[in-house]
Amino acid sequence: MELVLALAIGVLAGCGVWLMLRPRTFQAIIGLTLLSYAVNLFIFCIGGLRTGADPVLRAGAPLTQYADPLPQALVLTAIVIGFATTALFLVVLLASRGASGNDHVDGPDGTP
C-alpha cells in the first residue's frame, strides 16, 4: 500500500510541476490542482495508513483503534483553501486573458 501511494504522490506531483512550468494559463491551473492533490495526499499519509480504523469515537474503544485525526483536519483545511485559490486564480486568468488578448502566463509579453 505504501508503495502504491508513494508512486501516486510522485506521479501527481510530477504532472503538476510539469504543467505549472507550461506557458498557458489553463495548463498552470490544472497543474496547481494536481500538485495540491499530491500535497494533500502526502500530508494525509504522514499520519500513517489505517484501513478499517474508526473515524468517530465509540464508547469503550481503545485509542489505538482510531484513525489519526490531526492530518485529516489539516488536509480538510487545505482542500477548502485550495478551492479558494483555484477560483481566484481562474478569475485572474480570465482578467489577464481579457486584458492581454491571449492566454500566456506572461500576459501581453508572452507569445500569443
Ordered alpha helix ranges (H), 62-110: 69-100
* Closest approach of another protein to the CB of residue 4, in Å: 5
Asked if 108 interacts with another protein (CB under 8 A), we say no
Residue 61 CA to residue 6 CA, distance in Å, equals: 31
Residue 112 CA to residue 103 CA, distance in Å, equals: 7
* Closest approach of another protein to the CB of residue 2, in Å: 4
* Closest approach of another protein to the CB of residue 18, in Å: 4
| Helix or strand (DSSP H, E) at 27 | helix 25-46
Give me the 2-31 binding string for another protein, x by CB under 8 A, dash otherwise.
Answer: xxxxxxxxxxxxxx-xxxxxxxxxxx-xxx
Asked if 111 interacts with another protein (CB under 8 A), we say no
Give yes or no for a contact between 99 and 110, defined as CB atoms under 8 angstroms apart.
no
Give me the 82-101 binding string for another protein, x by CB under 8 A, dash otherwise.
Answer: xxxxxxx-xxxxxx-xxx-x
Asked if 57 interacts with another protein (CB under 8 A), we say yes
Give yes or no for a contact between 49 and 65, defined as CB atoms under 8 angstroms apart.
no
| Binding residues for another protein, total number by CB under 8 A | 87
